[in-house]
Amino acid sequence: MLLQAFSPAPLQVPSLVFADAAVSARMGGVCVEVRAPGEIHGLSLFPGDLLLVDPGAKDGELVVVAPRGRGRPMLALQTAEGAMALPSGVRCTPSRWQVLGRVVLQQRPQPQSMDKVLAFPARAQALLPLTPGSLEGAALVFRFWGAPSSELVDHVAARFGALKLQGAELQLPRPKGHSLEQLGDFARELGVRFGVRVVASIADDLASAQSACQVLAPGAVALVPHGQELPEPGLEQELFLASEMNTVARETQVPQLALF
């Protein structure tokens, strides 16, 4: 039996552009938009995703770097030796690239279609109240435009189990293994089935998940990467930087150049 040479599939490298200034202003900081998909540093990125950037970064964090001159932004890993481009691992020369900051939020727009709409019982069975410490860890938050109906609450509870209703929010512990794709499909299902506007976010803690919901566009869902905290929205410095970076982006929308 002859052995055939194995050629691994080429890595998909996400392609990024600067988001419009209005988008960055709404999100509260510099934003880049994903144009081509890929998986980088544990994040699965799809076209249309937005990445919110917060100035500053520590070693081991995923960052966005921008060219000093012509070119497009790209993702890198901050290290003691400087930013390393992903997935290549090539060092980003400081004279050519500048680090804009770490990625603190991934937003995905409302999906235009779903694989299927799942059927759930009319009322949750054996629904137990949340224990006092249930929301002290990773959390999932659904936020609605107006108080959700009891039928909607039952529908979410039937899918995820015990939850807490607070005003226009449903709060619950983050389900294990629940992806951003699944969350987006479920948020769209809620919108279609109950005629509501909704956003949803997943984070390491309840406060970060709530903060993420405050900046999302209707129907969007978000993930706060592990270990990150969201900046305060509306800081003048961030908005100025967002406007400045978008001006550069509009003038330099050309294919990404080499690292050196």
Inform me whether the pLDDT recorded for 188 exceeds 70: yes
Whole-number percent of the chain with pLDDT over 70: 75
Position 130 scores a pLDDT of 61
Give the tens place of pLDDT for each residue, 23-79: 999 888 999 999 999 998 888 999 999 999 999 888 999 999 999 988 899 999 999
Q: What angle do CA 178, 183, 184 make, to 5 degrees?
A: 145
| DSSP string across 115-126 | S------SS-SS
Q: How confident is the model over 96-108, as a mean pLDDT?
A: 95
Instruction: Decide the pairing of beta strands 221-223 and 198-203.
Output: parallel
Position 131 scores a pLDDT of 55
Confidence bin at 11 (pLDDT 50/70/90):
low
Confidence bin at 236 (pLDDT 50/70/90):
very low
Residue among 17, 10, 11 at smallest CA distance from 64 = 17
Q: How confident is the model over 96-103, as a mean pLDDT?
A: 94
Position 175 scores a pLDDT of 85
Position 256 scores a pLDDT of 45
Position 239 scores a pLDDT of 44
Q: Identify the H or E element spanning 248.
A: helix 236-251
Whole-number percent of the chain with pLDDT over 90: 55
